[in-house]
């Protein structure tokens, strides 16, 4: 790091203040000694010339009404990396073991991708469900919500255009049915699939979630790593509150709810049931 950066981050009290603020408002715990990524990301904000130092960033977040800077900070410090059919065994499990058991009566099957990033997880779910249920039933009976703290990734998700270099992530039979080529470099998800999806901004660490109808299946993968155990616990309890009595919860296979006091029972790696 250059001398200029060192000077800004020499202020240990300000660094501690911003760590506490990120913990309190976002539930993200940055361990002491592990601040180098945080420093790099904060430096971007300071370089943008909007803020002269860390204290000014904290003051702004403390005083602002629309929490725009807090959300920008969340986007800067968490990674949005995602891809189609990520942890494919989860989708296999969904198709083989969950979908055949679901009885909908007149209700819709409601799924929630709770840290959806740019939409790849949501559209993977669409493809799996449309294929398993048949398009007619899928369009009539499925509703998928994608939420994220970052407005930028949600815009990408709604737009649903992706780089051709990522096309290989989608199995060939799905490519045929659910995507359209756009240009030499890009493809897009077919509009008909997009119709069952809704994207909204939501901070998982917000307290009570504002949903009236219950979810059958919640995907919340590769985001728990950012949260401390207390935050993970309260998020899981909220998931339970907004889901059906026999709902399913998917986290990443590299994450675990072990040691948490939550109303979710382990089924297999990354898969839990209420």
Ligand X SMILES: C[S@@+](CC[C@H](N)C(=O)[O-])C[C@H]1O[C@@H](n2cnc3c(N)ncnc32)[C@H](O)[C@@H]1O
Where along the sequence are the contacts to ligand X (CB under 6 A)? Answer: 26, 74-75, 78-82, 86, 115, 117, 121, 148-150, 153, 203-205, 221-223, 226
CB atoms under 10 Å from CB of 260, counted, come to 15
Residue identified by tokens 């669409």 is 126
Structure tokens that stand for 111 in this block? 């799924």
Residue 111 CB, nearest approach to ligand X (Å): 13
Torsion from C-alpha of 62, 66, 70, 74, nearest 10 degrees: 160
**Nearer Cβ to ligand X, position 161 or 201?**
201
CB atoms under 10 Å from CB of 48, counted, come to 9
CB atoms under 10 Å from CB of 101, counted, come to 7
Residue 75 CB, nearest approach to ligand X (Å): 6
**Nearer Cβ to ligand X, position 164 or 201?**
201
* Strands 215-219 vs 142-148: parallel, antiparallel or unpaired: unpaired
Residue 148 CB, nearest approach to ligand X (Å): 5
Contact 34, 228 (CB under 8 A): no
Structure tokens that stand for 228 in this block? 């401390």
CA atoms within 13 A on the CB side of 195: 11
**Nearer Cβ to ligand X, position 14 or 121?**
121
**Nearer Cβ to ligand X, position 116 or 130?**
116
**Nearer Cβ to ligand X, position 5 or 206?**
206
**Nearer Cβ to ligand X, position 25 or 194?**
25
Residue 177 CB, nearest approach to ligand X (Å): 22
Residue 11 CB, nearest approach to ligand X (Å): 26
Q: What is the DSSP string of 188-206?
A: EE-HHHHTTEEEEE--TTS
Residue 274 CB, nearest approach to ligand X (Å): 20
């Amino acid at each position: 790091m250059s001398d200029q950066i060192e000077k800004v981050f020499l202020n240990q009290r300000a660094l501690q203040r911003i760590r506490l603020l990120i913990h309190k408002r976002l539930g993200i715990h940055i361990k002491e000694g592990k601040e180098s990524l945080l420093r790099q990301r904060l430096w971007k904000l300071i370089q943008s010339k909007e803020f002269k130092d860390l204290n000014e960033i904290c003051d702004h977040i403390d005083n602002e009404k629309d929490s725009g800077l807090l959300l920008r900070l969340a986007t800067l410090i968490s990674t949005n990396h995602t891809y189609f059919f990520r942890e494919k065994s989860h989708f296999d499990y969904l198709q083989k073991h969950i979908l055949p058991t679901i009885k909908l009566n007149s209700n819709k099957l409601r799924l929630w991708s709770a840290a959806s990033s740019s939409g790849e997880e949501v559209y993977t779910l669409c493809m799996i469900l449309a294929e398993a249920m048949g398009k007619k039933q899928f369009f009539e009976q499925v509703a998928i919500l994608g939420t994220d703290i970052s407005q930028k990734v949600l815009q990408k998700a709604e737009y649903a255009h992706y780089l051709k270099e990522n096309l290989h992530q989608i199995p060939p039979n799905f490519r045929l049915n659910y995507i359209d080529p756009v240009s030499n470099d890009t493809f897009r998800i077919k509009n008909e699939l997009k119709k069952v999806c809704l994207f909204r901004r939501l901070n998982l660490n917000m307290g009570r979630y504002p949903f009236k109808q219950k979810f059958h299946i919640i995907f919340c993968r590769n985001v728990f790593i950012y949260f401390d155990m207390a935050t993970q616990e309260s998020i899981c309890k909220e998931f339970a509150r907004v889901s059906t009595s026999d709902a399913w919860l998917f986290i990443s296979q590299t994450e675990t709810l072990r040691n948490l006091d939550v109303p979710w029972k382990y089924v297999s790696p990354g898969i839990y049931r209420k």
